Structures are given as C-alpha cells and as structure tokens.
Copies of this chain bind each other. A is one copy, B any other.
C-alpha cells in the first residue's frame, strides 16, 4: 500500500496544520492571501518584498475586461446558473497558449537563455550584449521573442515600467527582469522597429526572478484570473449582459449550405 506524502493541509482531532504551521493560530489572521498562495506553491514563506512583487503581478493579470475567458464565464453562467464552479472552470479553460500563455512562455524563454550562460552579466552593457545575441538568434530561427509586442499598447504597456520599479524597490530585480529589460533596449537594432515589452511578459520575468516553478507560471495567471472571473460574475449578476451577447450572435447567424471537408493529405 503506497503512502502519499504531503506538506500541505493535514487534520487531526483537535488541530489543523498547513505547511507545518497551526492553521488557526499561525496562519488565519496573520497571513495575507497573496503571501499564502506563494507559500503554498514553494513551501517557503515569502518575504514582504517578495509578496509585494507577487501581488503586483496578480493585480496586473486579474482582469482585462471582455476577454474570451470573461465572456465564456458569463455565457456559461447564463446557461448553467446552478453551477458557479462550472462557470469559473470554463473561463479558466481559455487560459491557454494564446491569451494567458505569454507569461509562462516569457518566463521559460528567459530562463533557457540564462541557463546557457556561463556567467551572468554584471552591468547593463553586459545584459545588452546577451540580449542582442538572443534577439538575433530568435530572428535567425524565424521565431518571435516572447513578451515583445502588444496589439493595443503600441507605445508601451504601462504595467511594464511599474512592475520593474516595484521589483527594484524591493531588491528583486533579478536576471530574468534584467535580460527582459535589455531585450527592450536592443531589439530595435535587430528588428528595425520598436515594440513594447508587454505586461504579460514582464510578469513572467518577475515570477521567474521570484524563483517560482516555471512549470506553473501559467497557474499564477490563472489564480489572478479566478479573482477576475468572480468579479465578472458579480457584475453579471447585477448588470447582466450575457443574454445580449448570446442573442447578438444567434440573431446574426446566417445559415449556409454544408461545405464538405476535403482532407488535406494524400489518399490512397
């Protein structure tokens, strides 16, 4: 019979522990929710500075208005109001490669570049050299640089300088943010035009500098978004729009003849 180890929650007759602490006496009332989320993910209590950077990232990612995930949560609640958990889960399922994935992709990308360096640069000039090579390599491989570019904030994403400032204030401006900032400085030389460092990307860099597990960077974006989706549901309850969205699609539906699928590949 296998044993299943865990350092997370455990219950006894009189006492509940969480992360080795007494839940009631040591955690409740003493530990904020951002701090606790960080602690659960790393099994290490973050410092005040780490918590501040982490919570700034969560704020940056919590809600962006009528994204597909927000629309999905509202429509699912319209259709199945008996299941709040279903509406939230449906919204989170949109948290994939296109809309929430940039955070994770950027964190991983920066990490991989850093892992290939023998020594970390010691000044901006050093970071610029690494960044220049990085952007050139991506261009040669005909790949994008994750975190670069934004379809709305073409002159700069206001979250990016703000998060960098907060990280600096807390002494947590580490190598991932340093490389990301350098990419922002040098990429015009290679690409021939200036693109903004976007907010999702800088969040990935900051989370990586906090030492959070790279495999779960998307998870933190999803945690932030869960709070945002609850906000969407709360607003939907008081000022519903989901039925109008549904009708605006259904009433503009144009029924067309079937268009038989031609398989793209070779057939015998």
Contact = CB atoms under 8 A, between A and B. Distances in A.
A34 interface: yes
Interface string A88-104: 11101111111111000
B158 A248 contact: no
Copies in the complex: 4
A267 interface: yes
Interface string A31-60: 111101100111110000000101110111
Contacts of A81: 96-98
A130 B20 CA distance: 40
Interface string A129-171: 0000000000000000000000011111011011101100100
A68 B78 contact: yes
Contacts of A33: 32-34, 37, 54-55, 58-59, 224, 227
A266 interface: yes
A188 interface: no
Given A34-B34, A81-B96, A234-B216, A11 B89 contact: no
A42 B6 CA distance: 35
A230 interface: yes
A76 B262 CA distance: 25
Contact of A80 (B55, B99, B176, B266): B99
A192 interface: no
Interface in A177-210: 178, 199, 208-209
Given A10-B255, A114-B265, A153-B13, A82 B62 contact: no
Interface in A214-268: 214-216, 218-220, 222-224, 226-228, 230-235, 237-239, 241-242, 244-250, 252-268
12 contacts: A8-B63, A10-B253, A11-B152, A40-B228, A72-B76, A75-B94, A82-B83, A83-B86, A85-B92, A85-B93, A89-B93, A178-B268
